[in-house]
Structure 1
Amino acid sequence: MDTSFKGILYPARLPTFHRMPAPEEVSHLVSWFWIPEWDIAPGRTSRQQLLAFAACNLVVQAHGVELSGPATRVSHQDLTGRGWAVGALLRPAAVPSFTHDPAELRDTQLPLGLPGLLDPVVQAMGGRDPDQRRKNAVAVFSQWLLDRIPEVGPEALVANAMAELIAASADVVQVDDAAQQLAVSTRTLQRLAKKYVGLSPSALIRRRRLQEAAERSRTHPGLGLAEVAAEFGYADQAHLANDFQRFLGFTPSSYRRAVGEREL
């Protein structure tokens, strides 16, 4: 199980969180499943701030199902009381089954009436054994996706390859880099990103670099910010600071101070 906190800006006070691999049969549709569970004391709120992955999420909670579009900025969720969520980080190939224009869903959530998904996931999460209920939730979620999306075409698989390459390859710093490695034109990448993701290829690259820079800044507080900038392909520390300020709303140095305060 992958319990990486990449994309979670302040993990020190995160409620119980599990990131679970997608079963092989749905690996072309889902990057992974994520399941937070929380029990917040009465009268208190736990604010979770995220620099989300550049993708759509299909999320089930006890009260309903929603499709969360690709995020372009930091988002937050205030948790109260007791609850859980079961989310699937959708791969591009799955997106057209839920929306014809993912760009319309940027930074928004769309409620979906899907009782065929909601009811079995709610039942699974009602189990008493924590590990087993999470496994059961992923299993019924996966089966529902397979029933809804029985197959995807070659173009969708190229879109998957594009997103996977950009997310995983530090040497992809320009759209041309990705196009060259995938043996397609930059125009093809732009078209695929628009149809299957809702963000441009350059936005996907920028999100990956910023996530990685934020993660490195948090986990290696002794590393100079100029070194962090160089590691992730920024021209200099000023360009890193500009991206932090523009997309996160704070500077790398202020982020490090805030992380230190929250981890006390």
Structure 2
Amino acid sequence: MNSTGDPRGILYPEELPTFQREAAPAELVDRVRWFWWPRWNLPEGQQVRQKLLPFPASNLVVETPLITLNGPTSRASHRLLMGQGWAVGALLRPAGLAGLHPAPREIRDLAQRLWVPDLLTAVKPADPVPGFTAWCLEHLPEADENGLLANRMEELIAKEREIHRVEQLAERMFLSVRSVQRLARRYVGLPPLAIIRRYRLQEAAQRLREDPGHSITAVAAELGYADHSHLAADFREVLGITPNDYRRDSGTISGD
């Protein structure tokens, strides 16, 4: 189940355990994009390596008895699943992260453990979202003017595929490049160019996986890469593999 309708970030959907995403309710969308939760029950001795290309954002994650604030990542991530378990996370909007951490750069590529016993109590394994939602509404401050501006920055990058340079983003927002850089540093913890490149790379991976007849060169051109080699370099830097490797591993046939 993926009620958000957005498959980005999941590199190998067929290898996932039971996995759901649910969009945040209207009164929380300025702070949380969606909630996600996997469940797994693997035979003894079996392991599943879950590989993701995370959104350029942070996640608040509950996995009893731990709660962690997972900062923005600079590369793909993976997790080894075994036995039986579950987790639930909130994909935070920039304004939502601001209510939990004053300097997101400090938790880049890190998981910071939090002591929040009332959140552990609120989240119920059978139906984790209502309690998580209620906790967020009570404890995450509503977005202020700068937080809303940072959310708009993220929305523009996510939706406007023609934006592939920071100067374009600044022009669309009627801000200076320096102002956009400060917003990204304070509310995301990644440089704005890294945010842009992550969204484009997510889209590239989705297209390569879902449309094997579409050439890698065409995907690169549509997403603002200078050429095929620049997309390949981005894949190698973040994922550690080439676009053709990814197509092969995901069971599709290269269009080049």
With the length of structure 1 as denominator, give the TM-score of the two structures: 0.91
CA deviations on 1:76-107 (whole Å, 9 max, x unpaired) are: 00111111111100001111222121111111
Q: Would you say the 8 A contact 1:19–1:32 is kept in 2? A: yes
- Of residues 212, 219, 228 in structure 2, which corresponds to 1:237? 228
Partner residue, 2:187: 196
Secondary structure at 1:99 match in 2: coil
Worse-superposed segment, 146-155 or 194-203: 146-155
Secondary structure at 1:98 match in 2: coil
Q: Which amino acid aligns with 1:240?
A: L
Displacement of 1:149: 2.4
Partner residue, 2:240: 249
CA distance in 1, matches of 2:18, 2:80: 15
Q: Would you say the 8 A contact 1:3–1:17 is kept in 2? A: no
Q: Which amino acid aligns with 1:218?
A: R
**Count of aligned pairs between the two proteins:** 250
Q: Would you say the 8 A contact 1:173–1:233 is kept in 2? A: yes
Report whether the alignment pairs 1:54 with 2:45: no
CA distance in 2, matches of 1:149, 1:59: 14
CA deviations on 1:123-152 (whole Å, 9 max, x unpaired) are: x21x3xxxxx2xxx2221111112112433
Matched-pair identity in %: 48
Displacement of 1:193: 0.5
Worse-superposed segment, 148-157 or 204-213: 148-157
CA deviations on 1:209-228 (whole Å, 9 max, x unpaired) are: 11111111111112111111
With the length of structure 2 as denominator, give the TM-score of the two structures: 0.94
Q: Would you say the 8 A contact 1:17–1:35 is kept in 2? A: yes
Report whether the alignment pairs 1:107 with 2:109: yes
Partner residue, 1:130: none
Alignment map for 1:214-229 (pairs within 5 Å): 214-229=205-220
Partner residue, 2:80: 78
Q: Would you say the 8 A contact 1:19–1:33 is kept in 2? A: yes
Report whether the alignment pairs 1:6 with 2:39: no
Displacement of 1:3: 4.8
Q: Which amino acid aligns with 2:184?
A: A
What runs of 5+ residues in structure 1 fail to find an aligned partner? 128-132
CA distance in 2, matches of 1:73, 1:39: 28
CA distance in 1, matches of 2:158, 2:51: 20
CA distance in 1, matches of 2:197, 2:172: 18
CA distance in 1, matches of 2:160, 2:142: 27
Secondary structure at 1:212 match in 2: helix
Q: Would you say the 8 A contact 2:96–2:141 is kept in 1? A: no
**Runs of 4+ residues deviating >6 angstroms:** none
Worse-superposed segment, 137-146 or 107-116: 137-146
Q: Which amino acid aligns with 1:171?
A: E
Partner residue, 2:35: 33
Partner residue, 2:137: 146
What runs of 5+ residues in structure 2 fail to find an aligned partner? none
Q: Would you say the 8 A contact 2:30–2:95 is kept in 1? A: yes
